[in-house]
Structure 1
Amino acid sequence: MKNLSRLLFVAVLLMSFSTTHGQDKNNPWAITIGVNAVDPYPVGEDAPQGDYFDEFFNVKDHWNIIPSLSTLSVSRYLSDGFTFTATGSFNRIDKFGTNLNPDGTEAGTNEVDDLTYYGVDGRVSYSFMNLINSKRIDPSLGVGGGYTWLDDIGAGTLNGSVGLTYWFSEKIGLNAQSTYKHAFEDYLPKHFQHSVGVTFKFGGTDTDGDGIYDQDDACPEEAGLEIFNGCPDSDNDGIQDSKDDCPNTAGLAEFNGCPDGDGDGVMDKDDKCPTVAGLKSLMGCPDADGDGVADGDDNCPNEAGPAANNGCPWPDTDGDGILDKDDKCPNEAGTAANNGCPEVKPTAEVMETLNSYARTILFDTGKASFKKETDQVLQAMVAIFKEYPKADFAIEGHTDSVGSKSMNQALSDRRANAVRDYLIANGISADRLTAKGYGEDSPIASNNTRAGRKENRRVEVKLKN
């Protein structure tokens, strides 16, 4: 038993070295070395043998064990959990069943002279490890046959086995096996053979040494990571090299592994300004004034302007709202209709517009002061007068016939001059304006109706020759 004790000690020591067993398809070969015990007693025969499984675990009285390594197995993984195993074993039989008293009671172990025992067996077994979803415990069932010699007599056997392996690591496990051997000849007794041993798996190929076997390695000649099926991620950005457009520089998944150092949404390799956040439309360069010209190309980076003027705004020297590039009179305020040049005289349409404003001027009743809501109308008139700086105008005031004629004449004068004064105060030259009241002498509607009198109370603007 000394060798058996050493074998078990080694098996327990190996338990500390790893955390998971290997896949049989990756390590298809295995060798198991261990000890075996032969038990010819509980196999359903007459004395000195007994009923099936009767005293099955009576090691002391019925198990034959020699104190040395006595079993060697070689296994080859087939597929889908099936493994073929060839086993050779030897033993010595000195316990063979039980002696009986005359009354049929047991009288003790039936001892025999040391009989040599040799067995050569083969079996196909099925592992239930995947079915129970275990990484260490590996139960199995097997069937097969072999040839067994007891001393010089041999016979074929039909075998059935149950086994359990506990995997300490990817390649090392402790195996226990119990096999029933049914002999085809009467001179070889039916018996059980039990064994325990250490199993070593081997044969897996890992060319690149990354811990992933070649048959599961998508990149078998290049060390990689398990999450990428053995393919590498050189820059450790979580994107395998084969799918990484920048495999040597850590980047982002949205850019297929390429970096965006300034975080502007433009990957560095396409970014003309990779260290400063910018706009996609300008290939990653900034545009501080938002004029569509990148700051590096903008002569006025903080003032919006067109690309045609290098990012600077076009000047408007005369302040007429028409840029110098489009102004035929850039140093003299003009109108858009006259390409930036001043109009000499307003057209009939302009005069009609001017008078449509003038007729809506509202005065306080019986006074020459303006109502508040008239200011917007007067400002519109000022704008038109400024468009024609070389034209002269006459401001005329009119009233209805209510009241005395002299009073109406005076009121119309005051109102005409009030309009002139407002225009002068708002930038229109006094030399260009005259004002005169016509009282009730020039009606444009009947004074016998309210509507007619309202029309007659008016201001008119005339163009002077």
Structure 2
Amino acid sequence: MKHLNKIFVAVMMVMGLSSQAQDSNNPWAISFGVNAVDTRTSAGGGNNWLDRHFSQPFAVKDNWNVLPSVSYLSVSRYVGDNFSFGLAGSVNKIDKYVKFDPTAPGHDSRGMVVSNPGDLMYYGIDATVKYSFMNLIKSKVIDPSLSVGGGYTFFGDSSYGTLNPGAGLTLWFTDNVGLELASKYKKSFGDREDASGTPDAPSHFQHSAGIIFKFGGKDTDGDGIYDKDDACPEVAGLKQFNGCPDTDGDGIQDSEDECPTEFGLAALKGCPDTDGDGVADKDDACPDVAGLVALKGCPDTDGDGVADKDDKCPTVAGPKENAGCPWPDTDGDGVLDKDDDCPTVAGPASNRGCPEVTTEALDNLKIQARAIYFNSGKSTFKSADVPARLDAMANILKNYPNAKFSVEGHTDSDGSDAFNQTLSEERATVVKDALLERGIKSSNLNAVGYGESKPVETNKTAAGKAKNRRTEVILQK
């Protein structure tokens, strides 16, 4: 048994290497089972090598030595390109030794003699390089192989080295567990017997059958996909996505899903579309109502290009500039309010919807303005009816909101030219300010003084001077 201890120590040393991190899926394998030693290869009685060695390969009862217990242990490591390297140990008991001796008593018709050499203990330790054809035949279950290697055999009291060609077949029940069948021919160079005819270094066949387990692959996230093939090795995922997750279960892996926590559509990169309008909810301004892509998923009932939610007239088409409503024509003059400078007062389109200033209106302004009298040498009003005159003037001007007018101030000839110029400007300004207070826009009025340069009556009489102290409201062309 001392040799058996040596074998198992060597095997366990190899197994200890499996604790190191590997970068290939299941690079390690361990197998164990029963082995059979067939010494018949040194006999045969035929005319050639094949006849002698393979004439009775399955004469199990007659030729095979089998120990009815676990009698072999093997550890191997995948080294790449379908090759693996392994180390195996085996134990057996030889109670059937077959040799060719047609002169010996008890030989069979082919001259073979089966003898018991004394229940010799058999130990073997072998190193093997194996090539698997499973990938070549594209199978997930059937794994045929060829091997070559060498070993050392302890046969009774003798020991010797062998060259070991062989073949095998593994049937994988799962990705990691299978049934392993193997056979190898252990060639010892110079089959020997001692002087008594006891086998000393016979060549022989060794067959084995057992269970094989593959292991050593690293699966950090525990999703059943080894890190080597896992595109997301630190996050548990699905096999169809190379180990990457699909949190919402919509068939789109999270890394390509723009809405990874919401079940969505592939056409929308994994995002949902509640209203089915082709716009993802995350981009849909109206996610519960089907709408148009151009309007971010919102409807446009009147088709005017303004979304209903922003359209103040959702059932009547209108421009965006008017919040989706048609432009009004408040004064009914045929000029839309948007183009009408006077939307509340009717006027022709030629004057942008504003009324033309009539001769009658100008005459009326002239009468009212000239009836505003000033105190001599001052810009204060002389008569009590001036406010009524100003009211009348303002009402006329309001009818022409886009017309431009000039308020002119005038004086009589009393005083110097410089004084009269200043005084006329002050009088024009006083009238302008009074009209502004009555609602006339400042952009429609300006004030100018002409001093004594434009009299309407003679300055030689008091009555004429009084009329020259006046204002005029003139339409600007």
Matched, 1:226 2:239: yes
Q: Deviations over 1:212-236 (max 9, x none)?
A: 1111111111100111110111111
Matched, 1:202 2:215: yes
For the residue of structure 2 that corresponds to 1:220, the secondary structure is coil
Deviation of 1:184 after TM superposition, in Å, equals 2.8
In the TM superposition, 1:110-149 aligns within 5 A as 110-112=114-116, 113-149=118-154
Q: Choose which of 183, 186, 200 in structure 2 pairs with 1:178.
A: 183
Shift in Å at residue 259 of structure 1? 2.3
Over the residues paired in the alignment, what is the CA RMSD in angstroms?
Answer: 2.9
Task: Work out which of the residue numbers 271, 279, 296 in structure 2 matches 1:283.
Answer: 296
Question: How much has 1:38 moved relative to structure 2?
Answer: 0.8
1:295 corresponds to which residue? 308
* Match of residue 79 from structure 1: 80
**Contact 1:61-1:109 at 8 Å conserved across structures:** no
Q: Give the partner amino acid of 2:72.
A: T
Aligned to 1:39: 38
**Partner SS, residue 73 of structure 1:** strand
- Asked if residue 307 in structure 1 is aligned to residue 320 in structure 2, the reply is yes
Q: What SS does the corresponding residue of 1:120 show, helix, strand or coil?
A: strand
1:65-104 pair list within 5 angstroms: 65-98=66-99, 100-102=101-103
Verify: 1:274 aligned to 2:283, yes or no.
no
Contact 2:337 2:343 in 1 (8 A): yes
> Shift of the alpha carbon at 1:101?
4.4
Shift of 1:339: 4.1
Query: What SS is found at the alignment partner of 2:255?
Result: helix
Aligned residue type for 2:233: P
Are 1:167 and 2:166 matched, yes or no? no
Unaligned segments of structure 2, at least 5 residues: 1-22, 193-200, 357-477
Distance 1:102 1:271 in 2: 101
Contact 2:45 2:100 in 1 (8 A): no
Distance 1:328 1:142 in 2: 102
Structure 2 counterpart of 1:58: 59
Does the 8 Å contact 2:178/2:212 carry over to 1?
A: yes
Q: Contact (CA 8 Å) 2:329, 2:343: kept in 1 or not? A: yes
Distance in 1 (CA, whole Å) between partners of 2:151 and 2:101 is 32
What letter corresponds to residue 154 of structure 1 in structure 2? S
* TM-aligned CA deviation for residue 330 of structure 1: 6.2
* CA offsets 1:407-438 (integer angstroms, 9 cap, x no match): xxxxxxxxxxxxxxxxxxxxxxxxxxxxxxxx
Q: Matches of 1:229 and 1:283 in 2, distance apart?
A: 35
- Aligned residue identity for 1:52: H
How far, CA to CA, are the matches of 2:99 and 2:191 in structure 1?
19
Task: Structure 1 unaligned segments of length 5 or more: list them.
Answer: 1-23, 344-465
* Cα pair distance change 1:51/1:101, threshold 3 Å: closer
Q: What is the CA distance between 1:255 and its match in structure 2? A: 3.1
Correspondence for 1:245: 258
CA distance in 1 between counterparts of 2:180 and 2:34 reads: 11
TM norm structure 2: 0.61
Partner Cα separation in structure 2 for residue 331 and residue 79 of structure 1: 93
Q: Deviations over 1:269-294 (max 9, x none)?
A: 22221111223333322221122222
Q: Distance in 2 between matches of 1:339 and 1:253?
A: 56
- Aligned-pair CA distance for 1:262: 1.8
Seen in structure 2, the aligned counterparts of structure 1 residues 28 and 289 have a Cα distance that, compared at 3 Å, is: same
Q: Is the 8 A contact 1:98 1:106 kept in 2?
A: no
Q: Deviations over 1:350-404 (max 9, x none)?
A: xxxxxxxxxxxxxxxxxxxxxxxxxxxxxxxxxxxxxxxxxxxxxxxxxxxxxxx
Give the number of equivalent residue pairs. Answer: 320
Give, in angstroms, the shift of residue 100 of structure 1. Answer: 4.3
Cα 1:198–1:65 change in 2 (3 A) is same
Q: Structure 2 CA distance, aligned partners of 1:46 and 1:189?
A: 17
Partner amino acid, structure 1, of 2:27: P
Closer/same/farther in 2, CA of residues 97 and 328 from structure 1, 3 Å limit: closer
State the percentage of identical aligned residues: 61
Q: Are the counterparts in 1 of residues 333 and 347 from structure 2 also a CA contact under 8 Å?
A: yes
Partner of 2:366: none
Secondary structure at the residue paired with 2:287? coil
Given that 2:277 and 2:297 are in contact with CA atoms closer than 8 Å, whether structure 1 keeps it comes out as: yes
Structure 1 residues 246-261: aligned runs within 5 Å? 246-261=259-274
**Do 1:95 and 1:109's aligned partners in 2 also have CA atoms closer than 8 Å?**
no
Quickly say closer, same or farther: Cα 1:106–1:331, change in 2 above 3 A. closer
**d(CA) in 2 for partners of 1:159 and 1:99?**
23
Q: For residue 183 of structure 1, give the secondary structure of its aligned residue in structure 2.
A: coil
- For residue 264 of structure 1, report the CA deviation from its aligned partner: 2.5
CA–CA distance in structure 2, aligned partners of residues 110 and 70 of structure 1: 23
Counterpart AA for 2:254: D
| CA spacing shift, 1:99–1:131, aligned 2, 3 Å | closer
Alignment of 1:316 with 2:329, yes or no, is: yes
The letter of the residue matching 2:39 is P
Q: Give the match's secondary structure for 1:42.
A: helix
Tell whether 2:275 aligns with 1:262: yes
Give the counterpart letter for 2:292 in structure 1: L
- Give how far 1:318 is off: 6.4
Aligned residue for 2:61, secondary structure, equals: helix
Query: What is the CA deviation profile of residues 106-139 of structure 1, one whole-angstrom value per residue up to 9, with x for unaligned ones?
Result: 4664212211111110100011111111111110
In 2, are the aligned partners of 1:42 and 1:56 still within 8 Å (CA)?
A: no
Please give the alpha-carbon distance, in whole angstroms, between the structure 1 residues aligned to 2:103 and 2:246.
81
- Which residue type is aligned with residue 135 of structure 2? N
1:320-331 matched pairs, under 5 angstroms: 321-327=334-340
Structure 1 contact 42–55 (Cα < 8 Å) conserved: no
Specify the alignment match of 2:163 in structure 1: 158
Instruction: Check whether the contact 2:32–2:73 (CA below 8 A) recurs between aligned residues.
Output: yes
- Could you report, residue by residue, the CA deviation over 1:66-87 in whole angstroms, capped at 9, with x for unpaired residues? 2222111111111121111111
The correspondence of residues 367-378 of structure 1 with structure 2, limited to 5 A, is none
Deviates more, 1:165-174 or 1:283-292: 283-292
Q: Is contact 2:43–2:100 with CA below 8 Å preserved after alignment?
A: no
